[in-house]
Chains A and B, each alone.
Chain A
Amino acid sequence: MTTDVHQLDDGAWISVNDSREVNVSDLWLLARSDFCGCETTDFLAEGFVEVGVDYPDIQARIAGQCIACGESGVTDWLTVGRVVDPDSGEFYGVVHESVHFPEKRTRLANAKK
């Protein structure tokens, strides 16, 4: 089966194969990003703007704010989890409290709004 990913309820959460998997209101630590001037961005996720699949990664661009410096905006592509076996469709979320590296470009097959 193909992995079906979208954001719903005005970007409140990411659905992976009709299961709510990633929610707004979590804090993510972003390193090596130019989101703000902080060494690591202490990022509050307020809304999922775009989602896509770069097998096996599920990726998203997230609107939110650095709660250390106050800079707000939309991140580059972040891996929010993986679907390792497309047949089972099982989703493994990343630990959002650990450090993440947003990517400028991505090989998204089917980025969707």
Chain B
Amino acid sequence: MPSKVEKWKDEVYGNEIREHLMEFAEQGWDAIPEDEHDAWFERFKWWGLYHQRSGQESYFMMRIGTPNGVIKPGQLEVIGEVAKEYASGPADNPEFGDAYCDWTTRQSIQLHWIKLEDIPEIFEKLEAVGLGTQQACGDSWRNIVGCPVAGKDKHEHVDAWPVAEDLHETFKGNDDYSNLPRKWKVAIAGCDEGCGQGDINDLAFEPAEKDGELGFNVRIGGGLSRKEPRLARDIDVWVPPEQAADVAHGMSTLFREHGDREDRFNARIKFLMDEWGPEKMRSVLQEEYVDFELETAGEDMRDQYSYNTGSQDGHNDHVGIHEQKDGNYYVGLNVLVGRMGADDVIELAELADEYGSGEVRLTQRQNIIVTDVPEENLDAFTSEPLLEDYSPEPSPFMRGSIACTGTEYCSLSIVETKNRQVRYARWLKDNVELPEDHKDFHIHLSGCTASCAQPQIADVSLRGMKTRKDGEPVEALDIGLGGGLGDDPRFADWVEMRVPADEVPGAIKNLVNNFEDAREGGETFRDFVEDRDEETLAEMVEPEETDYHDPYMHNTKMTWYPYAEDDDMQSSPAPTDGSGEPLPSDD
């Protein structure tokens, strides 16, 4: 029997949701019939709106999809202004204030506390500069990710940006693909650094050469969620850039027809890949979904990949100052846990205009890159006070930190994430010394097993859990080690489970010290983990209380907002009307 969600999607889905959304917005929150809440909130996702968690009813997270993370001149300012005007809620965040943007691990933007009533105005402002929220969530083609410096980078072999843009234009708003069994995540990259992160996407195009021509090899079925991480598998297909859209059409149509619509937990294409294997995937694609002879795979560049490899040389991320192939520079700025205050966003938009071309780009490590800066502007730009907070030369602990949304807004979450990771990063910076030769050290914190912060591909992976301390339930984290991408990608080994969150910084400190003592020669952290068994590693992680203080031990999900003065669920002002005044609640 098709799932409930499938039934709702059969009734109304895709582009047509918009008129209903606009009508509800005109009339206000109360206009959504009470017995249709679930159906409409499920559908709104397709237009980038996700109803926030319990205690925050009537407020939405809004996701803006920026393909390949490219934010064109003029767009950043609008994003900052929209955040400033509309993305503030009934309570402030103690680290980030009351209006901010989240840069996400899929090169998108998230705003929170959005009111239904404001949506028409917001859409108008975004769409006036070519931005949009269409298909940012929901069961369809999601934001396309890729090498964030596509078209600029010296390491590039094929310029993947026009291909990404073409895919975006072909598959966004296209009714043929608007109702897929589940989300469909695509990555494309043309550089030899491996920063497209194709291995953890449903469909990946990665650079490869065939008979002297540059194009892409195709991989299928990656993903991290639900304790079922998978690396995308090679289906032995090479495409020239001009045929990438045909293969993408074929693969997403195959997914539309063969994905499991009865069980949403089994719907992602990674599970179909488990069942079929790459040979069958290729032959079904060839026989039923493309009308030309597929080429076999070309020669890839994976052995040159350096991104997130832990190799400690090459390009582990995009932070710092790097020359572009046109002689200008891009300046990658570190945004701790991806969150940037709206005023800072507006200021950065001005600086990007003044010193660069006005374009900026988002990375899959929650950072932002200002592109096209002429050499003569570098000194003045990097001396701007704003860059003290968003540094091109941050401490490795700041630079390597990624955190998801967590209990602040997310229904699935088990623990608080972003503010905690900010405090971890500061404490680690002040208290832990990495070995001299380690400039990159990635710590990713996800609030649950959905893995939005991609913990399995970090040096230190943290995942939300609970435990008891002195009999009382407290927030805790599972600790994994040694994950990363590259030619030989590897998911973290989970070695120490349910560590109380306030003992995690101590655990990382002990781990780093033990690593320094026990490593042989120039062994990198990643190799070190790979070469040792779980028991040995578990002994090196020694959880310990330190002078680190964690204000979020108290089961933050049970609050209406973890940082409110009176955080009791019963004290929530939600749901509220268009001006933020509490409405009588139905329960």
Query: Given A10-B264, A113-B262, are A44 and B37 also a contact pair (CB < 8 Å)?
Result: no
Asked if B243 is at the interface of the complex by the 8 Å CB criterion, the answer is: no
What's the minimum C-beta distance from B415 to chain A, rounded to whole angstroms? 8
Taking a contact as CB atoms under 8 Å apart, the answer to whether A12 and B411 are in contact is yes
Query: Given A11-B265, A46-B414, are A6 and B466 also a contact pair (CB < 8 Å)?
Result: no
Taking a contact as CB atoms under 8 Å apart, the answer to whether B38 and A18 are in contact is yes
What's the minimum C-beta distance from B567 to chain A, rounded to whole angstroms? 15
Which B residues are in CB contact (< 8 Å) with A106? none
Q: Mark each residue of chain A from 2 to 44: 1 if its CB lies under 8 Å from any CB of chain B, else 0.
A: 0010101111110101111001111100000000000000101
Bound Cα distance from A12 to B52, whole angstroms? 12
Q: Which residue of B lies closest to A22 (CB)?
A: B54
Q: Which residue of A lies closest to B41 (CB)?
A: A8
Name the contact of B498 in the complex, choosing from A8, A18, A49, A67 (C-beta under 8 A). Answer: A67
Taking a contact as CB atoms under 8 Å apart, the answer to whether A27 and B411 are in contact is no
Bound Cα distance from A62 to B227, whole angstroms? 15
Bound Cα distance from A25 to B497, whole angstroms? 16
What's the minimum C-beta distance from A44 to chain B, rounded to whole angstroms? 5
Which B residues are in CB contact (< 8 Å) with A25? 407, 413-414, 466, 555, 557-558
Asked if B426 is at the interface of the complex by the 8 Å CB criterion, the answer is: no
Bound Cα distance from A10 to B268, whole angstroms? 12
Which B residues are in CB contact (< 8 Å) with A17? 35
What's the minimum C-beta distance from A64 to chain B, rounded to whole angstroms? 10
Bound Cα distance from A47 to B448, whole angstroms? 10
Q: Which residue of B lies closest to A13 (CB)?
A: B411
Taking a contact as CB atoms under 8 Å apart, the answer to whether B411 and A113 are in contact is no
For the complex, count residues of B whose C-beta is within 8 A of A.
41
Query: Given A12-B411, A67-B466, are A27 and B35 also a contact pair (CB < 8 Å)?
Result: no
Taking a contact as CB atoms under 8 Å apart, the answer to whether A8 and B465 are in contact is no
Name the contact of A9 in the complex, choosing from B4, B35, B411, B557 (C-beta under 8 A). Answer: B411
Name the contact of B34 in the complex, choosing from A12, A18, A47, A72 (C-beta under 8 A). Answer: A18
Which B residues are in CB contact (< 8 Å) with A19? 37, 586-587
Q: Mark each residue of chain B from 393 to 425: 1 if its CB lies under 8 Å from any CB of chain A, else 0.
A: 000000000000001000111100000000000
Which B residues are in CB contact (< 8 Å) with A47? 226, 412, 449
Query: Given A25-B414, A112-B4, are A67 and B42 also a contact pair (CB < 8 Å)?
Result: no
Asked if A86 is at the interface of the complex by the 8 Å CB criterion, the answer is: no
Within residues 42 to 66 of chain A, which ones have a CB less than 8 A from any CB in chain B?
42, 44, 46-47, 49, 65
Bound Cα distance from A25 to B467, whole angstroms? 11
Bound Cα distance from A112 to B171, whole angstroms? 32
Taking a contact as CB atoms under 8 Å apart, the answer to whether A27 and B466 are in contact is yes
Name the contact of B557 in the complex, choosing from A6, A10, A23 (C-beta under 8 A). Answer: A23
Asked if B473 is at the interface of the complex by the 8 Å CB criterion, the answer is: yes
Asked if B468 is at the interface of the complex by the 8 Å CB criterion, the answer is: yes
Taking a contact as CB atoms under 8 Å apart, the answer to whether A67 and B35 are in contact is no
Taking a contact as CB atoms under 8 Å apart, the answer to whether B473 and A9 are in contact is no
Bound Cα distance from A72 to B476, whole angstroms? 16
Taking a contact as CB atoms under 8 Å apart, the answer to whether B54 and A13 are in contact is yes
Bound Cα distance from A68 to B497, whole angstroms? 11
Bound Cα distance from A20 to B557, whole angstroms? 14
Taking a contact as CB atoms under 8 Å apart, the answer to whether B42 and A8 are in contact is yes
Taking a contact as CB atoms under 8 Å apart, the answer to whether B38 and A8 are in contact is yes
Bound Cα distance from A24 to B449, whole angstroms? 12
Asked if B263 is at the interface of the complex by the 8 Å CB criterion, the answer is: yes
Which A residues are in CB contact (< 8 Å) with B467? 67
Q: Which residue of A lies closest to B32 (CB)?
A: A18
Which B residues are in CB contact (< 8 Å) with A10? 264-265, 412, 450
Taking a contact as CB atoms under 8 Å apart, the answer to whether A49 and B265 are in contact is yes
Asked if B3 is at the interface of the complex by the 8 Å CB criterion, the answer is: yes
Taking a contact as CB atoms under 8 Å apart, the answer to whether B412 and A113 are in contact is no
Taking a contact as CB atoms under 8 Å apart, the answer to whether B468 and A42 are in contact is yes
Asked if B384 is at the interface of the complex by the 8 Å CB criterion, the answer is: no
Asked if B517 is at the interface of the complex by the 8 Å CB criterion, the answer is: no
Which A residues are in CB contact (< 8 Å) with B555? 25
Q: Which residue of A lies closest to B473 (CB)?
A: A27
Asked if B275 is at the interface of the complex by the 8 Å CB criterion, the answer is: no
Within residues 537 to 576 of chain B, which ones have a CB less than 8 A from any CB in chain A?
555, 557-558
Pairs A-B, 3 closest by C-beta atoms: A12-B411, A25-B557, A12-B412
CB pairs A–B below 8 angstroms (20 shown): A9-B411, A10-B412, A12-B53, A13-B54, A18-B34, A18-B37, A24-B411, A24-B414, A25-B555, A26-B558, A27-B473, A42-B468, A44-B466, A47-B226, A65-B465, A67-B466, A67-B468, A112-B1, A112-B4, A113-B265
Question: Besides A18-B38, A113-B263, 17 other CB < 8 A contacts?
Answer: A9-B411, A10-B412, A19-B586, A19-B587, A20-B57, A23-B411, A24-B412, A25-B407, A26-B558, A27-B466, A47-B226, A68-B468, A70-B498, A91-B587, A112-B4, A113-B262, A113-B265
